[in-house]
Amino acid sequence: MSERKSDPDREDSERAFFGRRKGHKLRQHQAELIDHLLPRLALAIDREAPADAREIFAPAADDLRLEIGFGGGEHLAGQAAMRLGHGFIGCEPFLNGVVGALNHIRDDKLANIRLHMGDALEVLERLPDASLSRVYLLHPDPWRKARHAKRRMVNDGPLDLIAAKLKPGCEFRLGTDDPTYCRWSMMVMNRRCDFEWQASKAADFLTRPADWPETRYERKARRQGHEVWYFRYLRV
């Protein structure tokens, strides 16, 4: 997706953008990762027909997972390292975040990750329905102002798409340290009938699951004294 320069306050924007793209100037070795490693891992988006999820990886991966906005790539790489037989797609428009993920992929020799440097919704739209075993959305931009609420990823439009692409009985994971986003997410998710919250007590969403690698955003939040919430929803 080409960079959109629309005003976030406009109500007639074609599609809200859910992250940021620019960061610090790249060092030489970082630029080399973008020039040489990223093309080998970049996910090809076919705009004419949906992608065949089994053909994204060689050998084919029946279990396909997607992370929306992977930040520095710690969680994405951690998940991929734990599940070498599974395929992972990471979507991140922020250039420096993509560099971070490429560093992890190179250092850990991970062959089961593909990257899309752009809007995750583009990828979701092209995948077949019921093709994903898990979707991750960790510490998304909270867009705290009420007039920007439509730009949050946890909204019915993106969630309809996530629900369509998840296999029944599979999981959508959401993590946030922002109280506004926490309350908003609970409100939006609790009114839906296609997701079931996997929590019966406070510890279920206040304690990070063992298979949920910590991110730099989470560590930063903890240092600042913020609470972190971990939501797990099954697609029903």
pLDDT tens figures, 5-64: 334 443 433 344 444 455 567 888 888 899 999 999 998 777 666 677 777 886 677 799
Q: Say whether pLDDT at 194 is over 50.
A: yes
DSSP 8-state class, residue 147: G
Q: Assess whether pLDDT exceeds 70 at residue 231.
A: yes
Q: Give the integer Cα–Cα distance in Å for 95 and 216.
A: 16
User: Is the pLDDT confidence value at 198 over 90?
Assistant: yes
Active-site residues, by number, are 141
pLDDT per residue as tens digits for the range 52-74: 777 788 667 779 999 999 999 99
**Predicted pLDDT of residue 233:** 98
- The pLDDT of residue 229 is above 90: yes
Length of the chain: 236
**DSSP bridge partners of 229:** 176
User: How far apart are the C-alpha atoms of 78 and 213, rounded to whole Å?
Assistant: 6
Cα gap 121→1, rounded to integer Å: 10
Q: Residue 217 belongs to what H/E stretch?
A: helix 216-223
CA-CA distances (angstroms) from residue 174 to 81, 104, 228?
Answer: 20, 22, 11
pLDDT in tens, 63-103: 999 999 999 999 999 999 999 999 999 999 999 999 999 99
172-206 per-residue burial string, b: 16 or more CB within 10 A, e: under 16: bbbbbbbeebbebbbebbeeeebbeeeeeeeeebe
Distance, CA of 53 to CA of 131 (rounded, Å)? 7
- State the maximum Cα–Cα separation within the chain, in Å, rounded to a whole number: 49
Give the span between the Cα atoms of 216 and 74, in whole angstroms. Answer: 8
Mean pLDDT of all residues in the chain? 88
